[in-house]
Structure 1
Amino acid sequence: MWPLVMNVLRAYAPYITLPAAAVIGFVGYNIEKHFRTPPPNRPSIEEQRNERLLKELLEAKEAAPAPLSEKTFVPKTIFEKNLSPSLAKEE
């Protein structure tokens, strides 16, 4: 009798295991959903960046733009055109 049962299980394994796995997965998902606590709400990266930039603007030494007669936005040489702010020399 057991060899017959084993042959049937071997022949119809995909038809037996797929529904069993689906039922086990569905039950496990719902149990986990029931006991899980929601994650804390954190501000998004974009919101954090905007707040940081706003804070830096408010704390900056020069809140007003430089007058156009000074032309501080024009580089003296081509090498200063795309200079990183961290590499710029304070004058």
Structure 2
Amino acid sequence: MWPVLWTVVRTYAPYVTFPVAFVVGAVGYHLEWFIRGKDPQPVEEEKSISERREDRKLDELLGKDHTQVVSLKDKLEFTPKAVLNRNRPEKN
């Protein structure tokens, strides 16, 4: 009799487990809200990291004078040497 019962349970397992899982989930959900009590006051959402970064960048841009920029000649002095010339001796 047991083998027949296990075969039936195995065959109809999805039809049996879904309602059981649904009832257990619903009871657990309502029990959790009963234990917690009233809904807490909604908390203001904190800004994400990317939003805070954008705000910080905008604040930095507001304080700068955009007409004063570094010339390209000054920038070229700090460029690294070419990769192929690194092992060659410096010419004086």
TM-score, structure 2 normalization: 0.45
**Larger Rg belongs to:** 2
TM-score, structure 1 normalization: 0.46
Higher helix share: 2
